[in-house]
């Protein structure tokens, strides 16, 4: 099974191009900055992972994704190789995006906080807030 799930921030706006021919399709390429879970001394703590989205996923990337936004990506690893103009063989690894989702609200992504709009107080660094005592009657679940 070849399945990848990543959560990270876009390093730059996606580079979107359209294939040639009668049935042209969007091809969006972008890199995700994904934090490593464990950090070692003298070692980078972020991986920069290349992603490619085709068709409707590519169109979605073009329309909604931009530098700095935090997204979740599900897809598969695809490897390949080519010979560059210097005659050297270059190996590639990309994540072919099967789906992507937003991981933060629009206001958070834009750099604003939603504290003023929340009647329950501030939101922590993970996007959660404390539910006050006595509110359980208002919740739609137990």
The DSSP secondary structure of 93-115, one letter per residue, reads EEEEEEEEEE-S-HHHHTT---T
**All domains of the chain in start order, with CATH:** 4-103 (2.40.50.140), 111-142 (no CATH)
Mean pLDDT over each residue of the chain, to the nearest integer: 83
Look at 22-26, 62-66, 84-88, 129-133 and tell me which has the smallest mean pLDDT.
Answer: 129-133
Q: Choose between 126 and 24: higher pLDDT.
A: 24
Mean pLDDT of the 101-121 span? 61
Task: Give the residue among 56, 49, 96, 47 at the shortest CA–CA distance from 76.
Answer: 96
- Tell me if the pTM is above 0.95: no
Looking at the DSSP bridge assignments, the partners of residue 95 are 51, 77
DSSP category for residue 118: -
Mean pLDDT of the 14-30 span? 93
DSSP element (H, E) containing 10: strand 4-10
Separation CA 52–CA 65 (nearest Å): 13
Assess whether pLDDT exceeds 50 at residue 52. Answer: yes
Mean pLDDT of the 11-22 span? 93
């Amino acid at each position: 099974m070849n399945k990848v799930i990543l959560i990270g921030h876009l390093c730059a706006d996606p580079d979107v191009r359209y294939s040639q021919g009668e049935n042209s399709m969007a091809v969006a390429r972008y890199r995700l900055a994904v934090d490593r879970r464990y950090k070692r001394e003298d070692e980078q703590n972020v991986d920069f992972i290349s992603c490619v989205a085709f068709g409707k996923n590519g169109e979605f990337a073009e329309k909604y994704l931009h530098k700095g936004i935090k997204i979740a990506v599900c897809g598969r690893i695809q490897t390949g190789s080519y010979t560059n103009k210097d005659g050297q063989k270059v190996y590639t690894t990309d994540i072919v995006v099967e789906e992507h989702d937003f991981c933060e609200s629009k206001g958070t992504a834009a750099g604003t906080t939603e504290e003023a709009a929340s009647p329950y107080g501030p939101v922590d660094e993970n996007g959660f807030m404390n539910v006050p005592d006595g509110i359980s009657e208002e919740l739609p679940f137990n």
